[in-house]
Amino acid sequence: METTTTTISHPVTLTEEAVKAVKRIMADNKIEGAGLRIGVTGGGCAGFTYTMNFDNEVKSDDQTYETDGIKVIIDVKSALYLSGTTIDYTSGLTGGGFKFINPLAKGSCGCGSSFTT
């Protein structure tokens, strides 16, 4: 059976700082050829949790696009919850991390790692 994927426009935007952080993580961990999988799963204190990891496999129901040399992979279900989201990376004295700015989220938990629609 042939696997096909859908190439989509940019439902999720990575800021310049997020792009730098992803590329730095890939270089530090010698990750080559993998895409950045962004998703949403049920759970967390507000109902849904964001996920990000590197993946070499693109499934038949995945949507893909490239931004600043990074292949982004999003499954169809997650794309519904992520449309219009911007991912930023911030750093500071107490640490750093990726921040999801999601216009579809009606609320989030105190730490910002989960949200509700």
Task: Give me the DSSP letters along 95-116.
Answer: --EEEEE-TT-SEE-TTSSEEE
d(CA 6, CA 10): 12
Rounded to two decimals, what is the model's pTM?
0.81
Residue at 83: amino acid letter = S
Write down all domains in the chain, each with its CATH number in brackets: 6-110 (2.60.300.12)
Cα-to-chain-centroid distance, residue 9 = 14
Per-residue pLDDT of the chain (117 residues; tens, 9 = 90+): 444 444 446 789 999 999 999 999 999 999 999 999 999 988 656 578 889 999 999 999 999 999 999 999 999 999 988 999 999 999 877 778 999 988 887 666 555 555 555
Q: How many helices (H) and strands (E) does the chain have?
A: 2, 10
- Give CB contacts under 8 A, 24+ apart, made by 52-58: 52/87, 52/98, 54/26, 58/3, 58/5
Among the listed residues 69, 62, 63, the one whose alpha carbon sits nearest the alpha carbon of residue 18 = 69
